[in-house]
Amino acid sequence: MKDRRIAILFLTIFIDLLGFGIVIPILPNLAKELSMESGTSINPDVAVGLIAAVFSIIQFIFAPLFGSLSDRIGRRPIILGSILVNAFGYVLFGLSQSFWVLILARIISGFGSANISAAQAYIADITNYEDRAKKMGIIGAAFGLGFVFGPPLGGWLYGSETLFGVDVKQLFHIHESANHSLFIVGLFTALLCLLNFVLAWKFLPESNTQKSTVKRSPTETFTGMLEARKIPIISELMLINFIYIAAFSMMQINASVLWKEKYDLNPVAIGNIFGVIGIFSAVVQGGLIGVFQKKLGLRRMLIWGAPIAGIGLSLIPLPSKEWFYAVQFFAIFCLALANGLLMPAINSLVSLNAPANAQGQMLGIMQSLGSLARAVGPLLSGLLYAQFYMLPYLAGGILMMVNFGLALILAKQLNQSSQQVVKD
């Protein structure tokens, strides 16, 4: 029964993340174009970061609320409700003809995507310590597979005239001035969310059998962080997680703009590169997490991931056009390997050191801090890119070297702590 729930949860997360992956090769350049066409006073490069920031800020606010609410009412209602909200957000995305409508669409999708903490808590509910790192890797694998199929599919859909052979422009009476290719992307992604909802409704039972009776206020995003800072190990993991995600998201949102402007790539080519990132991530996180934990232990996974990520980030803007693909694929491999080391280690250490009746809350706070990092990173990336196109990637490499030092310090604390649960 447990294996079946893991399989269904994987499929549910994968479909959810596939929709997110579809917009990746389109959104940054679309945001830049709409910001210029709408006549906003915002620097177009900064506008790209702003689009990512509003999505992530909403996640930052609601992920802990969803996580703690799942502790109280169950994981299933949170997962199901958020999927429906996501469907509406993608429909609005497909109808976006101005920068401000695009922002509204991403706000709605940010709210609907704040459910990963409930999914993480679901996994924590049904796994023991020996399996937890491997099972936590399911979320990373779903992210990876979402990037395998999502971005290439998004690039292909954006250039399509029909959806499943249907002329959606005629079917929905889309005005000639509207971007019907964008509508195709939004409609397809919304349909995926509805399929996701049906599968989760039918096959994903409730996992939280020990529901909390504690009611938390809307300010728990901030008060929870203050409380979590007092828990040994958790506060250090929060900082490492924040820095890593901020550095990675600087690349993730800006790369589409870099590849289009400096290397003349179209949405299909951009989508294919993100697909390669997904393939590497899926292989690492789907097949090697258990090996990493057994051979290295969680502490060494945490330490080794940081410099590998720094190398990958720093290499991305460096190659000439002739060496572009060779260097990019090596950088992508480094990033996938680093992500496969870092994220399962961080999530597992958080779940192992969190109070038993607050798994959802702690993982929700981590997810919310990750969302804040995904807001800070793209905004910083936009500001740096406006000055010089290499700066976001070099800054990301420097941040990961800072993380390397922090991971070394935390590893010593884990080794010396009398409360240590994990042993290499």
* Residue range 23-43, pLDDT digits in tens: 888 999 999 999 988 777 788
Closest C-alpha to 382, from 150, 53, 116: 53
Distance between CA atoms of 381 and 376, rounded to whole angstroms? Answer: 8
CATH number for the domain spanning 358: value is: 1.20.1250.20
* Residue range 199-224, pLDDT digits in tens: 888 888 887 766 665 555 556 666 76
Q: What is the pLDDT along the chain (424 residues), one digit of tens a residue?
A: 556 677 777 777 787 778 878 888 899 999 999 998 877 778 888 999 999 889 888 877 787 777 778 888 888 888 899 889 999 999 999 888 889 999 999 999 888 887 777 877 788 777 776 666 677 777 767 776 777 888 898 888 887 766 666 666 665 555 555 566 888 888 888 988 898 888 888 888 887 766 665 555 556 666 767 777 777 778 888 889 999 999 999 998 899 999 999 999 988 888 888 888 877 777 776 667 777 777 777 788 888 999 999 999 999 999 988 899 999 999 988 998 898 888 888 877 877 777 666 666 777 677 778 878 988 999 999 999 989 999 999 999 999 999 999 989 888 777 655 344 444 4
Question: Within a domain: residue 424?
Answer: no
Q: How many domains does the chain have?
A: 1
Question: Within a domain: residue 423?
Answer: no
User: Does residue 245 contact residue 373 with C-beta atoms inside 8 Å?
Assistant: yes
Per-residue exposure over 209-222, b if at least 16 CB sit within 10 Å of its own CB, e if not: eeebeeebeeebbe
Query: Which residues form the domain of 345?
Result: 2-205+219-416
Question: Within a domain: residue 194?
Answer: yes
Question: Within a domain: residue 211?
Answer: no
Question: Within a domain: residue 421?
Answer: no
Task: Report the SS3 class of residue 166.
Answer: strand
User: Does residue 243 contact residue 41 with C-beta atoms inside 8 Å?
Assistant: no
Q: Given this model, what pLDDT does residue 14 score?
A: 80
Distance between CA atoms of 194 and 84, rounded to whole angstroms? Answer: 7
Question: Within a domain: residue 53?
Answer: yes
Alpha-carbon torsion angle 269, 274, 276, 278, nearest 10: -150
Question: Within a domain: residue 304?
Answer: yes
Question: Within a domain: residue 212?
Answer: no
What's the mean pLDDT when you consider all of the chain?
81
Q: Given this model, what pLDDT does residue 272 score?
A: 87
